[in-house]
Amino acid sequence: MNAPSLTRRQGLVIGVILFGLLTLGLIIDGGRQLISDVTGVLSVSYLTSAIRLTVPIAFAAMGGIFAEKTGVINIGLEGLLIIGAFGAVASLYALSATPIGANIWLAFVLAILASTFVALLFAIVCIEFKADQIIAGLAVWLIALGFAPFASIIIWSRTSSPSVGTFSTVSIPGLAALPSIGPLFEATPPVFLLALAVPFSWYLLNRTTFGMWIEASGEDPKSLDTAGVDVRKVRYAGVLLSGVYCGIGGAGLALNTGQFVGSGDTMIDGRGWIGLTAYLIGNYNPVGAFLASFLFAGLDALQLQLQQIAGYDVSSTLVEIIPYVAVLVVLTFVGRTRMPSAAGEHYESDE
């Protein structure tokens, strides 16, 4: 793998996107005014909302990296996010009727367990029953997309839940009191989890034995097997990690808004797919995937803020398709991201 050229490539992508935005700003009516409004919007409050929107995308992206690096392509990320979001709200709703009460952390954990359980089923299907990973991943998405509104109607008689409560903001003592950048250190727990998860994932993949196993499981399972490591177990671990990460991402999103919305594409609304594109653009590097996720979330936040503050009628629909167009451009023109060579293949141990 040629590291310097990849970095250039990523830089190029980000440059192309920023340049595109700039051009867009100049060619449409009142472009200069727009640009000055955009720079006006770029404040600390904008950053905090962008980071909040990054949570589900980046967690899905990092989860996808773990699964695919071990050799199991998990395109069911969107479905796992849906399970995480629905699981969090449904658990919180159910808990409030029990003596335990509406414990938001317990609901968060239950949501992660739910998403991890679905990931386990996906892993069994792919590893034990040698299913086609793409088709099985698609099935995970379609099942979740049908199941979440189905269950919502069963529980709440409509596709969306009532408000069930949200994570309260946590401040980091000292840092939150800093002038101007202080608000960055006041956020909900999932945001802080993200700040921890990115370096943690990078470290896990690049500096630990487990990370080497993951790499080998996707690149050269035979050698890993020869070295005495069970490829199946490593692959299970990778897929389960993707379940955990998606659970955090989905639950984090739902417990920030305090409600599950199940209509249309559900409240996840393609964020799992954007996560998938983010790690392709970030070329399987958690830090790169995070940056790409942040870029996409930042666009979304920008569009929201512009509509609120400057009263622009920026079509949210058009802004929403930018990530998808970006990944199409990357895949077609900038160059291919390199998949792990054994990804998608079933591995049969000779034992």
Partner 1 sequence: MTDDSGSIRERGSAALDRLVDATAAERITISLASLVFAIIVGAVLVFVSGFVADCADPFIYLPGLGYGCYNPLEVYWTMLTGSFGSMTVIGQTLLQTTLLLFTGLSVAVAFRAGLFNIGTQGQMVLGALATALVVLELAAYVPDNAIGMVIVLSTGVIVGAIVGGFWGMIPGLMKAYANAHEVITTIMLNFVAIGIAFWLVQVHVGDLTTDSVQTETVPAVARFPATISGSRFSVIALIGALLVAAGIYLLYTRTVIGYDLRTSGIQETAAEYGGVNAKRNIVTSMTLSGVLGGIAGAIYVMMVQYRWQAGIPPLGFDGIAVSILAGNNPVGVIPAALLFGSLKTGSVAVDLSLGVPGELVEVLRGLIILFIAMPEFFRMIGKRFGYGNGSVATDGGEAQ
Q: Which stretch binds partner 1 (CB under 8 A): 14-22, 177-185, 195-203, 272-280?
A: 272-280
Among 24-32, 243-251, 287-295, 329-337, the segment contacting partner 1 (CB under 8 A): 329-337
Conformational region of residue 72, where left means phi above 0, alpha means psi within -120 to 50, and beta covers everything else? beta
143 binds partner 1 (CB under 8 A): yes
Q: Considering the complex, what minimum distance in angstroms separates the CB of residue 13 from partner 1?
A: 14
**Under rule CB under 8 A, residue 129 binds partner 1:** yes
| Structure-block tokens of residue 115 | 């998403």
**Binding status of residue 28 toward partner 1 by CB under 8 A:** no
SS3 160: strand
Among 191, 241, 280, 291, binds partner 1 (CB under 8 A): 280
Rounded to a whole number of angstroms, the distance between the first and last alpha carbons of the chain is: 31
Binding residue (CB under 8 A) for partner 1 from 12, 35, 106, 331: 331
Buried/exposed code over 290-307 (b: 16+ C-beta within 10 A; e: otherwise): bbbbbbbbbbbbbbbbbe
Q: Which of residues 59-88 bind partner 1 (CB under 8 A)?
A: 75
Query: How far, CA to CA in Å, does 310 sit from each of 21, 32, 36, 42, 298?
Result: 17, 13, 10, 12, 17
Q: Residues 146-175: x/- map of binding to partner 1 (CB under 8 A)?
A: xx-xxx-xxx--------------------
Rule CB under 8 A: say whether 145 interacts with partner 1: yes
Q: Say what angle helices 231-257 and 209-219 make with each other, to 10 degrees.
A: 110
CA distance 153 to 71: 37
User: Using the rule CB under 8 A, is 336 a contact of partner 1?
Assistant: yes
Query: Binding to partner 1 (CB under 8 A): which residues in 241-270?
Result: 264, 270
Cβ proximity to partner 1: between 162 and 199 the closer is 162
Site size toward partner 1 (CB under 8 A) is: 51
120 or 155: CB nearest partner 1: 155
Q: What are phi and psi of 171, to 5 degrees?
A: -110, 145
Contact 74, 344 (CB under 8 A): no
Q: What is the C-alpha separation between 140 and 64, in angstroms, rounded?
A: 14
Question: What residue ranges bind partner 1 (CB under 8 A)?
Answer: 75, 125, 128-132, 134-136, 138-147, 149-151, 153-155, 264, 270, 273, 276-277, 280, 315, 317-318, 320-321, 324-325, 327-328, 331-333, 336-339, 341, 344-345
